[in-house]
Amino acid sequence: MFVVDSPIGPLGVAVEGDTVVSVRFAARPGPSGSHPAVAQLEAYFAGELTDFSVPFELRGGSSFERAVWGEIAKIPYGEMVTYGSIATALGDPGAARAVGTACNHNPIPVIVPCHRVVGAGGKMVGFGGGLDRKRKLLELEARVALARAWG
């Protein structure tokens, strides 16, 4: 496992070969590395990267959770969607809370951007890494997206 220092605290990044299999918040101090995932996360936090290209594998989870994670992975940089809209996209408009639980079980946060999922009306609710981290990630992306849009 590599550790990436970031504005939201140290992230533990587990890899198998070139493939990211886990990202964890509040990692204990450990080795940094030259893995492409480390470089991409550092570039993301520096506002230089908006699309991760490092290979990742979403392991575990129920079929519903895996479907939610697949929908989350499609959310464009700097945008937000609601738990309800993901539930609707999966064919079950009443499953917003279940979507929230699946987001909380996302094994690769930041790279699979569960922070981009918000409550109805854009309300800031729930995040496995804590609302402060979620807010910081959304603010970073909003700043970078606006800077790129407005040159």
> Are 68 and 103 spatial neighbours (Cβ–Cβ below 8 Å)?
yes
Residue 28: C-alpha distances to residues 31, 32, 91, 121 (Å): 10, 11, 40, 36
- The DSSP code for 56 is B
Contacts of 44 (CB under 8 A, 6+ apart): 50, 52, 110
What three-state secondary structure class fits 69? helix
Is residue 103 annotated as a catalytic residue, yes or no? no
Which of these is catalytic: 114, 117, 118, 140?
Answer: 114
Residue with tokens 């594998």: 57
Residue type, position 36, single letter: P
Q: Which helix (H) or strand (E) holds 24?
A: strand 19-24
> Which residues are designated catalytic?
114
